[in-house]
A and B are shown apart, each in its own frame.
Chain A
């Protein structure tokens, strides 16, 4: 009777030992399989989200509050502005960058009460901010946030010379305002100054700017897009805003009034690299560029990180659980096999007195343990499927609920790309635990290693056994 037959007979006839070992490896195998599945799925969801968001870097000025901007001295303001624009220009010309975008804002231009169209009545909150753009094709369109329905984009000439032209949302036309390409919308440039006599800010100059509509876009509901989640309704060329800011500066420099500092500002600029693989390199370029400047930056990885916090915690938790369960399996299997090998002392003595090579005996014990242990683990693969999905669903749900309530107490992270569009609900619905071929192989390899390690104790016992003491006592 050769090795394999002996293994088989031993496993099939020594039922108690086999059943205990099978149960043990089945139970712990489930824990291992679940934790591997959770880890792999977390990795999967991260990749998935990253791919959808794409490789992006967002530069932000640390100064975001209007009042902070106005509080800067002219010198500091010029410096901060220049630093930001320089960085944008340096970085956007890098070859890794597929496209880049920067939006200017200037508060002094506001929607005017119009006689022809009652726009103010619609309370376009954002209408008071014109949304400056710099690109021939809107980055927002590339980001699949909007699509141009009618008309065309700004021409290079319009962008460079800052024409009074505008691309508007079809939401404006949907609100029963029948705008057509070529129509005009009036905005007013309102310059304010502080009047010490009245001790309040008063409007000192007003000028009507009539913007010609050259295009109408439609908003797309896209959760995986970038920064500009609150779509502005009115796009104008950046240079147009620069032009009017310059006008205001000139106005105040000629008068002796104390201007209320209405300043052109940038909230952020965005760079999209060709592929996610370019992101690490570009990230370094960005780091060098903004090294000693007052600029913050965020990448799509940060954004995914922020959103996946819970799932990542779960993943690292399950990694710990994996190691722990492997340790537990190791110890438990070692003790069980040791106990049963001791019970089989006589049998082992018989093999040895028959002249069996000790190595062959050791191999037999390892094979027996592997045979039953792997069977237990393979059985656990079948059941973990249901276990891990419901278990991790439960965990994700409770953890996210906990995190959300925690979050309410603090300021939400608004710095990440796509902070509002992609919600935790999206992630929960995407979170699908499944174990794949390679995970199964991983599980079997880890399981086999654990089982082999757990054989060391009984094997050590066999090595020091002397057949004479067992057989001729």
Chain B
């Protein structure tokens, strides 16, 4: 069974007096251990789609099921804290905390069992994405963009969820850093059996994915 299933997902934004349909009856399923790339032209609704499966917004109709259960039934907040992690284009780390603390905050919110020594665990996660202890104790705004995104990935890892969502995770990074991040994400899918869904413009990212979902070909009908 797919870990995440989207059926007939529809979403529109009000545009003046009319509704502008962005997502029109989209169905798709996602499995654990796979790396998905969502592509499509700018403005086609990639971020909108991600925000729906991240439970940051409500679909207009259709269903999103996590392990066969409606996420609205699980509860959006609970779903966010126990089943998914999101990696953003602009990293979204708490600026006055260091890397370690940023990871620890997330670990304090999830209800998933993590183990006893949270600090050691957090440091291990940071280490696995290439952040050593010295950098882990540095304020995040004194880390480079690539390093900050690694911290964000370590944070996503730390809560022990099945699904990792990312919106343009390499959008702000140079080519070299991008490659590191993409490798990390694909590693999460293939070695740690996560379901990784990445929205991207980057062809290199798409190339490394197991499946490319082109939003404009599956559902996009411009009805404006």
Q: B-contacting residues of A (Cβ < 8 Å)?
A: 1-2, 5-6, 9-10, 13-14, 346-347, 349-358, 466-468, 471-472
Q: A1-B101, A1-B105, A354-B105 are in contact. Are A471 and B92 (CB under 8 A)?
A: yes
Chain B residues within 8 Å of A357, by CB: 77
Query: Is B167 part of the contact surface with A, judged by Cβ < 8 Å?
Result: yes
Query: Is B171 part of the contact surface with A, judged by Cβ < 8 Å?
Result: no
Are A468 and B57 interface neighbours, CB within 8 A? yes
The CA of A471 and the CA of B87, in the complex, are separated in Å by 10
Instruction: Give the top 8 A-B pairs by smallest Cβ distance, nearest first.
Output: A355-B81, A355-B80, A468-B56, A13-B96, A1-B104, A1-B108, A1-B105, A354-B109
Query: Is B79 part of the contact surface with A, judged by Cβ < 8 Å?
Result: yes
Chain B residues within 8 Å of A352, by CB: 77
Residue of chain A at shortest CB distance from B168: A472
Chain B residues within 8 Å of A356, by CB: 77, 81, 109
Tell me the residues in window 138-180 of chain B with beta carbons closer than 8 Å to chain A beta carbons: 159, 167
The CA of A238 and the CA of B51, in the complex, are separated in Å by 101
Chain A residues within 8 Å of B79, by CB: 355
Interface residues on B, range: 20 to 34
Chain B residues within 8 Å of A6, by CB: 105, 108
Chain B residues within 8 Å of A466, by CB: 56-57
Residue of chain A at shortest CB distance from B57: A468
- Give, as a whole number of angstroms, the nearest-CB distance from A356 to chain B: 5
- Across the interface, A9 reaches (CB within 8 A) one of B50, B93, B97, B107, namely B97
Are B88 and A472 interface neighbours, CB within 8 A? yes
- Give, as a whole number of angstroms, the nearest-CB distance from A430 to chain B: 53
28 A-B residue pairings within 8 Å (CB atoms):
A1-B101, A1-B104, A1-B105, A2-B108, A9-B96, A9-B101, A10-B96, A346-B92, A347-B94, A350-B92, A350-B93, A351-B105, A351-B109, A352-B77, A353-B56, A353-B86, A354-B106, A355-B77, A355-B80, A356-B77, A356-B109, A467-B56, A468-B51, A468-B57, A471-B56, A471-B92, A472-B47, A472-B50
Are B92 and A349 interface neighbours, CB within 8 A? yes
Query: Is B82 part of the contact surface with A, judged by Cβ < 8 Å?
Result: yes
- Give, as a whole number of angstroms, the nearest-CB distance from B90 to chain A: 9
Chain B residues within 8 Å of A472, by CB: 47, 50-51, 56, 88, 167
Q: A10-B96, A347-B94, A471-B92 are in contact. Are A353 and B105 (CB under 8 A)?
A: no
Query: Is B201 part of the contact surface with A, judged by Cβ < 8 Å?
Result: no
The CA of A354 and the CA of B159, in the complex, are separated in Å by 10
The CA of A13 and the CA of B96, in the complex, are separated in Å by 6
The CA of A347 and the CA of B92, in the complex, are separated in Å by 8
- Across the interface, A354 reaches (CB within 8 A) one of B50, B57, B80, B167, namely B80
Chain B residues within 8 Å of A471, by CB: 56, 86, 88, 92
Query: Is B110 part of the contact surface with A, judged by Cβ < 8 Å?
Result: yes
In this complex, the member of A2, A13, A353 whose beta carbon has the largest number of chain B beta carbons within 10 angstroms is: A353
Chain B residues within 8 Å of A351, by CB: 105, 109
Chain B residues within 8 Å of A349, by CB: 92
- Across the interface, A353 reaches (CB within 8 A) one of B92, B107, B108, namely B92
Q: Assuming A2-B108, A355-B80, A472-B88, what are 16 further A-B pairs, CB within 8 angstroms? A: A1-B104, A1-B105, A1-B108, A6-B105, A350-B92, A350-B93, A350-B94, A353-B92, A354-B106, A354-B109, A354-B159, A355-B110, A357-B77, A466-B57, A467-B56, A471-B56
- Give, as a whole number of angstroms, the nearest-CB distance from A293 to chain B: 78
Chain B residues within 8 Å of A354, by CB: 80-81, 105-106, 109-110, 159
The CA of A416 and the CA of B124, in the complex, are separated in Å by 84
The CA of A51 and the CA of B95, in the complex, are separated in Å by 63
In this complex, the member of B51, B56, B110 whose beta carbon has the largest number of chain A beta carbons within 10 angstroms is: B56
- Give, as a whole number of angstroms, the nearest-CB distance from A420 to chain B: 68
Query: Is B37 part of the contact surface with A, judged by Cβ < 8 Å?
Result: no
The CA of A13 and the CA of B109, in the complex, are separated in Å by 20
- Give, as a whole number of angstroms, the nearest-CB distance from A15 to chain B: 9
The CA of A346 and the CA of B92, in the complex, are separated in Å by 7
- Give, as a whole number of angstroms, the nearest-CB distance from A192 to chain B: 99
Chain A residues within 8 Å of B167, by CB: 472
